[in-house]
Amino acid sequence: MKIDSAEIIVTSPDRNFVTLRLTTDEGLVGLGDGTLNGRELAVVAYLKEHVVPLLIGRDPAAIEDTWQLLYRSAYWRRGPVTMAAIAAVDMALWDIKGKAAGMPLYQLLGGASRKGLMAYGHASGKDLPELFDSIRKYLALGYRAIRVQTGVPGLHAIYGIASQEGLPGNKGRRYDYEPAQRGALPAQEDWDTRAYLRHVPGVFEAVRAEFGAELPLLHDAHHRMTPIQAAKLGRALEPYDLFWLEDCTPAENQEALRLVRQHTITPLAIGEVFNTAWDFRTLIQEQLIDYVRASATHFGGISPLKKIMDFAALYQIKSGFHGPTDVSPVGFAAQLHVGLAIHNFGAQEYMEHGARTNRVFRQSMTFKDGWLHPGDAPGLGVELDRDEAGQYPYATAYLPYNRLADGTVHDW
């Protein structure tokens, strides 16, 4: 079998998605997600100009060889654009392999290790009553684990809150960075770490008092604290028994996690902005984290995701793959297959895609009683409707950024 043609499809049903569609001379189609939100067209150019010409005529079965060729022959290694492009190819080839075998991908990765994946939903509120309503809504939808994000008095717009004022796109039932509402320039949000640190422990105390000890609770600090601030928050949250504290410090400074770890037993999750397995090496070997937050899409695909989880398993570190709506249904399916197959699954983030996105990408995936399952269609289990995709042209969209009260730019 040979790769016969490659098409790069950009569509923006709810937000922008970049999909690579490979076709073989036997008519098999493979899909791969190369969405790098805020920088989508850089991946499109990388694929179109530098990757597709290498793929035509190659054997689609040679997944590892193709991955190594794309990674090593570029000479310039790593980086989110390169790794999203390689991810798209890797996923499309696994999709083809599954279809050629007539098996869902998880079977090729070793078969199911569980009946479904525990998903966590994104509850948020600008104050406690709104947060409690939001948690109840996610529990009613069947979720068995809840991420808790809260407004902070004095800050008018911060990450992860669905209903805060000042952001045109944030009136809905979840926070949302969709292009139609965001406009062409990055929105500015505000930040004050000391105000946040004063407020958050009380919120978790109230949530535990209302919802009991059993419910797994998660929190995303979104890269905003210094190491000692993160250590302080981790310690302050210990009585509320978090499932994980995510991205407590910016990922570039990996030594920071040593300092945080010395001071707190709150479990730590990190890695949604990492793009290679090497980014996790020290953190895993030194057991500085508890959950790997990589996504297949931003991490070079299914092949490296499976490898890093096998490495993490040696240290009892589990998965917590990054599953926001900026990962397309193709990339999300890739994670579900890996999560179902590996032994060291932890939790799967799940932000449901919008109705338009679900019409463009038809999926075999199911969500029932809090469990996600990738379905049993051969390959990834996602079909892309090209006519539907064509109705939603690309729209420039950026993620927001932060400024402190004095005007200083801060991590978002």
Contacted entry of ligand CS2, Mg ion, none for residue 195, CB cut-off 5 to 8 Å set by kind: none
Residues 372-411 that bind ligand CS2 (CB under 6 A): 399
* Angstrom distance (rounded) from CA 389 to CA 405: 42
Is 159 marked active-site? yes
Cα→Cα distances 184→36, 168, 224, 411, Å? 16, 13, 25, 20
- For position 326 contacting ligand CS2 by CB under 6 A, the verdict is yes
CB of 222 to Mg ion, least distance (A): 6
**CB-CB contact of 149 with 220 (8 Å):** yes
Choose the catalytic residue: 106, 175, 196, 222: 222
Contacted entry of Mg ion, ligand CS2, none for residue 349, CB cut-off 5 to 8 Å set by kind: ligand CS2
- For position 349 contacting ligand CS2 by CB under 6 A, the verdict is yes
Which tokens belong to 29? 């189609």
Closest-approach residue to ligand CS2 (CB): 324
**One of 186, 216, 250, 324 touching ligand CS2 (CB under 6 A):** 324
Contacted entry of ligand CS2, Mg ion, none for residue 201, CB cut-off 5 to 8 Å set by kind: none
* Angstrom distance (rounded) from CA 322 to CA 297: 9
Nearest residue (CB) to Mg ion, 220 versus 290? 220
* HEC string for 253-277: CCCHHHHHHHHCCCCEEECCCCCCC
Choose the catalytic residue: 159, 196, 291, 392: 159
CB of 53 to Mg ion, least distance (A): 35
- For position 220 contacting Mg ion by CB under 5 A, the verdict is yes
CB of 208 to ligand CS2, least distance (A): 22
**CB-CB contact of 391 with 44 (8 Å):** no
- For position 189 contacting Mg ion by CB under 5 A, the verdict is no
Is 222 marked active-site? yes
Contacted entry of ligand CS2, Mg ion, none for residue 326, CB cut-off 5 to 8 Å set by kind: ligand CS2
Nearest residue (CB) to ligand CS2, 192 versus 349? 349
Residues 261-290 that bind Mg ion (CB under 5 A): 272
CB of 398 to Mg ion, least distance (A): 17
Contacted entry of Mg ion, ligand CS2, none for residue 37, CB cut-off 5 to 8 Å set by kind: ligand CS2
Nearest residue (CB) to ligand CS2, 192 versus 326? 326
**Residues in the site for ligand CS2, rule: CB under 6 A?**
37, 220, 222, 272, 322, 324, 326, 349, 399
* Residues identified as active-site: 159, 222
